[in-house]
Structure 1
């Protein structure tokens, strides 16, 4: 009864709630991985750090991966845009993301290869984030050339959470979560409701529903979990807009050309995870659908009805993995060994592209059913060659099969492919506070399965070239991890990465396409420093040079490839007061191959101040985009045509603005 009464009182409050932590001493956001990590660019982030991060969207949790920037080029119900290691990763290409053992990347997706929607995350439930950058890890398969991130949800909560969020532009968020003892285990439940119109001239009318139900027994080492999740989102979108329309006054900075763009998405999943001694096993089933309406070129192709198109994706995903680990010496060398198998089957009922007007279908461009299966077998061992030396060896073998049933018979067919990915690493404990690393590895990303059987362009009926189903990546890295001063953790990594074919988002087509071979070289420096007893400072910087490897008259710059990112943050917890401020910088980028058109850099600062009124009730204020910077979340350069313009269209910069300064007040009741 007291829990229900507490929730009722909170629901009547006019204030808004994000997570407000109890007054505790600040501890480092990054675990001490000396003697454990396999590279300098591997790391873990605790729930305590995640809970204090001022977020404008849930996917920004991934920005705790040093060098990562998360942005958006459409409505907030669409998958985010990700930048890391010289990549514009679009919606997830070359960066694999996992939630509770389930892959979030979607291959052969109607909108983009590797489409990764992190809007389903509930940050308050995330118990930790583990990231690994580079293709050096045998357990990581498809889409992991740039890196991988694994997110875990809590199995229990120390107290129930009831919180309300409110801010400008009809921003409202409600979260209720708790865990109870049940039948010898624990049952965790959470329900999230959110609406948000955003600052856009045409409100985005976002409506989100998110639910989690988890039953667990035992521990993380010996036990099992059953997890059910459901997520729905509906929104209208501004998309990116042409610079000439803003400069002429035709639309405002937060205006749009086609107010009927937007979409809806749903995802429901059931998964199970079992751990017993050296064995780990998991299985999952996912149902997902997306209807996305976009118009990037306006009236370039169809001057009467406009160029709006719908991308529809309907699929069922089934998969799982089995892992076994043991200790065994070989020729007198002690080793830690892991072997595993991963399987996945995507039953894609529809990957469709339609010409639309005001979200009504006018004609079908293409409509495909695809069955895509993959199996990966991997082995990895860590050998203790000497007290201070470790050698990590690994090998991964992947087999893929594609069965495409297209509405154009010429594009139907089957295809198979396989790839081997060896790995090698060396770690030297140079001192009690220093470890040096050298890593080499092969990885890969898959291409859209429809491209492996295509013969005819569905839009023009011209002959089309097939793509390789699996594309090899080769990476090298040297680095160090150091704790040279009390409370200071620092990592430095120098890396290079080559891809046999770059995956690019084509702005005027609204899809991801395979392109030319590429090469990247870069450096990353990451730091966390305890400041006194109550505060911590973090600073990360990454610089990358990305180029196509083949010669072309168009140039060799990779459009959208990020050249520099940086973040600087400080958080403080003392008595009932807490605070956090975080600066993140996304550097300029070439937008076309000859580098004649470039985007500007974007610097944003988010902040939070919290006060714990009593052990049950806390309040916090978030100010997002603290200095109200008028910068872009993303920029593209391509042809588009506005009403009255010449038939050939105008090549122009198209941008999606970052949201203006926003104040959100937060109240949380712990019960």
Structure 2
């Protein structure tokens, strides 16, 4: 996970400002940045690259989001979408990747990993539907494999959501809207003994605009007891989440164009799912003048029953192609790190961090052929035990007042143990990998820093693939795959606050993968593919135009190609997004008023390797208006897809066959963005 806390140098430099009046440092540019009222916290001297950052809970609260996972779109260049029912994990796009349901985007909530390894529906499955927005204290993000603290799935980026230990105000929320949307939530904290008790409850229902409504029903709860503070104290947290939903999966363009179905119809109305998550976690942290220690541990129980039909009647003209992907798992682990600080001169400040990460997943999952969610045959059943351990060391040193470095080394070891209903696909495998990283930070000069970042990372493959010898669906022989796949990244960037009230960052990057994870439409999962190379440019801006008005503008372009040069196959990468952007205007504390408008651009993607079929780009507009009825009561109106654009949330190109069709057909299959809708929310604080 990225190191985003202030360096000792920054803290020493700013300490006088905390002890003396503001006027004593009115001429100091660093202090001026910190003291600008309502501005976003300065990142100079804090981050190690142009693509690390922190978003506060207040900034996230001001965003308009249709579903919880969309808070990750506060990360510049990241797109979150959906191709199925509301309870399913989102789709993620970043740096020229179609990350499917979370591959190569490492995600954490309160130090617990969200990515699920060797998942039935895709490697790195990242379901954020259990998030309670009222509890989010901050979002830390980074992009690229440039820190030894980051491991599996973090090559494209990582996102860490942290809940608050205490709330500044208790909050009750009641929402209603079009398409059967309703939400009730309560979040509060109170003194309990020598600590604080935090609790939250949430209930949600949503149909969406679909002909057969999602009938999404979510129930969520959080209970936390903490003592001390974030840097000196401990907490224990219990979470519980469950949801059920119907699915309107992606549909073929040919059926819509022929008028056989409408945009919001389903081919198989019996698709759907159910999900449960229970967790117990704890964190302990101790900070002194010259050292810092932190230990986090967790146990997570996840359960998913998912029914999908992407090819309709291609494989079974009589019963259809619906398949079930059950997944049950218990995940346990801990992260421990200790940091020493040294101050050897007026500028030379150094810190050493050593850490250990351990995770174990006990998984039972499979693949079944079903009809109307009733099992017709079992394709495969597996019991997987996947265990990993890592040691890392990282050093950050400020050599002069304008040059510092962060260098690290991480060593990971994995064991994959698979017991399959096919004996040929049972076995175990051990593998490991060491990855270095180096960050050079120059400046600040005129409130500008420059960065050079180098590093290796990796993603793990599905444990079943590491020992497989026979395709369980066809019975044909197959080759096993590597357990860990290396990535290599490099980046140059800058961050500047030279323009008053503006924060700007620019970066150029390249990322190579020894093997790409690709989406397999017939099984609804991911599989190892060809090696790849991506390079791109990202430009991000934040401007505090007025005390009550801020403007965000982000744009990113990526060039993604397979790097093994197979002319007959083509070298484009399916689903690799080429450009994204957003323009957001946010109003806060304009008397009793607040609000936001956000324009989002989601660029085109090649859908086949020779680029002969492409998706269309899309542009959508969301907005929010809030009004304080009293100091403790406010009302908010939210609008989604305000222009009512008929565009896709996602597109795929593959072969399917509808009932009554004489032969299979290659076609674009898409999931539409929800039509224009509105929600109203009443919020009461106390």
TM-score, normalised to structure 2, is: 0.93
Distance 2:165 2:244 in 1: 29
* Aligned mate of 1:620, from 620, 623, 636: 636
2:73 aligns to what SS in structure 1? helix
Q: 1:79 aligns with which of 89, 106, 125?
A: 89
Pick from 343, 350, 362: which aligns with 1:347? 362
Per-residue displacement from partner, 1:375-425 (whole Å, max 9, x unpaired)?
A: 011111111221210011100000000110000000000000000010011
Contact 1:26/1:572 (CA < 8 Å) preserved in 2?
no
Return the offset for 1:587. 0.1
Match of 2:574 among 559, 582, 585: 559
Asked whether the equivalents of residues 44 and 444 of structure 2 are also in contact (C-alpha less than 8 Å), the reply is no
1:139, CA displacement in angstroms? 0.4
Aligned to 1:237: 247
Name the counterpart of 1:455. 469
Alpha-carbon contact 1:94-1:145 (below 8 Å) kept: yes
Contact 1:31 1:43 in 2 (8 A): no
Q: What are the within-5 Å matches in structure 2 for residues 581-592 of structure 1?
A: 581-592=597-608
Distance 1:455 1:507 in 2: 21
Partner of 2:141: 131
Deviations 1:435-491 (A, max 9, x none): 000000000000000000000000000001111000000000000000011110000
Residues 73-112 of structure 1 mapped to structure 2, 5 A cutoff:
73-112=83-122
Which of 299, 320, 324 aligns to 2:313? It is 299
Mapping of 1:311-326 within 5 angstroms? 311-326=325-340
Match of 1:568 in 2: 583
Give the corresponding residue for 1:577.
Answer: 593
How far apart are 1:123 and its partner, in Å?
1.3
How far does residue 505 in structure 1 lie from its aligned partner after superposition? 1.3
1:310-343 C-alpha deviation (Å, 9 max, x unpaired): 0010000000011000123799964111111000
Aligned 1:111-126 pairs, distance under 5 A: 111-126=121-136
Instruction: Check conservation: 1:26, 1:535, Cα contact below 8 A.
Output: no
The answer on whether the counterparts of 1:79 and 1:116 sit within 8 Å (CA) in structure 2 is: yes
**Separation in 2, partners of 1:670, 1:518:** 51
Unaligned runs of 5+ in 1: 1-24
**Aligned-pair distance for 1:163?**
1.1
Quote the Cα distance in structure 1 between the aligned partners of 2:134 and 2:596: 16
How many angstroms does 1:637 deviate by?
0.3
Distance 1:26 1:412 in 2: 61
Does residue 213 of the first structure (1) align with residue 223 of the second (2)? Answer: yes
Asked whether 1:600 is paired with 2:616, we answer yes
Cα pair 1:26 1:536 within 8 Å, conserved: no
Is the aligned partner of 1:34 residue 2:44?
A: yes
Residue among 458, 466, 469 paired with 1:444: 458
Measured in 2, the distance between the counterparts of 1:92 and 1:69 equals 12
For 1:474-623, list aligned pairs within 5 A: 474-552=488-566, 553-573=568-588, 574-623=590-639
Residue 368 of structure 1 is matched in structure 2 by 382
> Given the two structures, how large is their TM-score scaled by the length of structure 1?
0.95
Aligned counterpart, 1:163: 173
Distance 1:235 1:561, change over 3 A: same
Q: Is the 8 A contact 2:446 2:498 kept in 1?
A: no
Conserved in 1, the CA contact under 8 Å of 2:239 and 2:280? Answer: yes
The structural deviation recorded for 1:507 is 2.2
- For the residue of structure 2 that corresponds to 1:522, the secondary structure is strand
Q: Which residue number corresponds to residue 448 of structure 2?
A: 434
Q: Distance in 2 between matches of 1:475 and 1:330?
A: 32
Name the CA distance, whole Å, in 1 between partners of 2:312 and 2:354: 52
Q: Pick 1 or 2: higher relative contact order, CA cutoff 8 A, min separation 6.
A: 1
SS at 1:50 equivalent: helix
Report deviation, 1:31. 2.7
Indicate the SS of the match to 1:343: strand
